[in-house]
Amino acid sequence: MSIGLPIPWAKAEFWGNEEKYLVDALRSSWISGGAYVEKLEAACAARIKAPHAFAVSNGTAALNLAYLALDIQPGDEIIVPGFGFMAAANVALQLHAVPVFCDVDPDAWCMRASDVAPLITSRTRAIVAIHTYGNMCGVDELVALGTQHGVPVIEDAAEAFGSKMGDAAAGSRGLINTFSFHATKTITTGEGGLVTTNDDALASKIRLFRSHGLRRERHYWHEIPGNNFRLTNLQAAIGVAQIEHIDQIFARRGAVYEQYTRRLRNIPGLQLQRLTPGCSPVIWAVAVKLEPAHYEQGRDAVMQQMAQKGIETRPGFQAPSEMHYFAPTHLPVSEELGRSVISVPSYPSLSELEIDFICNELANLSTSS
Ligand SMILES: Cc1ncc(COP(=O)(O)O)c(C=O)c1O
């Protein structure tokens, strides 16, 4: 078997009935709402063990819905990690709330309750736990801390569909939980997302906010100033087909992660993301931190060198202090991770040969050998 270059960083993959269900949805003429949306919600609810699951247009809309349901107001503070995708912080700003950044664990790259505790004030209205790259935050500790202060936890499990902490699925312990089904994610609907909650009253609010505050029984009567965050039946059809093969997807992702871990842990100058104790992850993206002593050219140069070899990589998430529109912060760990982390292709169909090739190239770029 040969290696096909370039190797992309991500690849949307189809496992069985995606095309069939998509055509079925199209021919049914139910292209907005429809039976596939309900099927996708039921399948996700069963996997996550969530009494209420709402398919939405993307993971950012899912966070927006969570904030609306929690009645986040201008000036409210929302604690978010300094290392992670900035959707939760961006949506907070759009609602004129204040993202309060928490630095992350230098090894697990996720937020810890012990770092969140000193940031809680009388204005704190939510803690957003982002399960970065598929590793998970210590959710029990965060929920216990939140409960102590009357602050809800939102799990942003966009990158962690399928990960578990003990027996609890990522996105099952927060008061509200959000997921993304973007093209690169563990399961995809192209663009798409999900919101779950165990709370009946919040579920009613989420249902209304998702669809302009409308109830089916009364046309054009808006109960609340909602939005349109709905997923289409066409997209949901793809998601239903993906869920049918979820165990196979998890197994392939697991094998890719396992092979990378075996190889990368022996390369000097690379630090793998350490799993939070108790976490059985479905890794979305395999990432390593480059130690400057071994990669003197710096992370961005390494990315370019990898690209020259035909391997697409991505940098770690940039810290909020790098972006002009966030208030100044000092987050030493997140800033360092933003400068030195690189993530490598991690999609399920990567072959052993390709993974070996990627690991060898990364090792060859070390300046200390
Ligand atoms: C942690 C996290 N939260 C939220 C999102 C936003 O999801 P979407 O791109 O579906 O809007 C992403 C997506 O990339 C993400 O990684």
How far is C-alpha 253 from the chain's CA centre?
15
pLDDT at residue number 2:
75
The 10s digit of each residue's pLDDT in 171-195 is: 999 999 999 999 999 999 999 999 9
Q: How far is the CA of 187 from the centre of ligand 1 (A)?
A: 13
Q: How far is the CA of 268 from the centre of ligand 1 (A)?
A: 32
7 lies in a domain?
no
- Is the pLDDT score of 369 beyond 70? no
Q: Is the CB of 60 under 6 A from ligand 1?
A: yes
The 10s digit of each residue's pLDDT in 86-105 is: 999 999 999 999 999 999 99
- Is the pLDDT score of 217 beyond 90? no
236 or 1, which is more confident = 236
Selection from 146, 143, 185, 148 nearest residue 165 by Cα: 143
Same domain, 122 and 238: yes
- Is the pLDDT score of 218 beyond 90? no
Cα–Cα distance for residue pair 22/28, rounded to 1 Å: 10
Mean pLDDT of the 323-327 span: 95
pTM: 0.97
Q: Give residue 108's pLDDT band: very low, low, confident or very high (50, 70, 90).
A: very high
What residues form DSSP beta bridges with 55? 194
Same domain, 212 and 308: no
- Is the pLDDT score of 243 beyond 70? yes
The atom of ligand 1 lying closest to the CA of 84 is 1
Cα–Cα distance for residue pair 331/125, rounded to 1 Å: 21
Q: Is the CB of 65 under 6 A from ligand 1?
A: no
Same domain, 197 and 83: yes
Helix (H, G, I), strand (E, B) or coil at 101: strand
CATH number at residue 237: 3.40.640.10
Same domain, 250 and 337: yes
Q: How far is the CA of 87 from the centre of ligand 1 (A)?
A: 6
Parent domain of 321: 246-364
- Is the pLDDT score of 216 beyond 90? no
Among candidate residues 188, 208, 243, the one where a domain is terminated: 243
CATH number at residue 351: 3.90.1150.10
The 10s digit of each residue's pLDDT in 248-298 is: 999 999 999 999 999 999 999 999 999 999 999 999 999 999 999 999 999
Q: How far is the CA of 234 from the centre of ligand 1 (A)?
A: 20
Selection from 147, 151, 136, 157 nearest residue 53 by Cα: 157
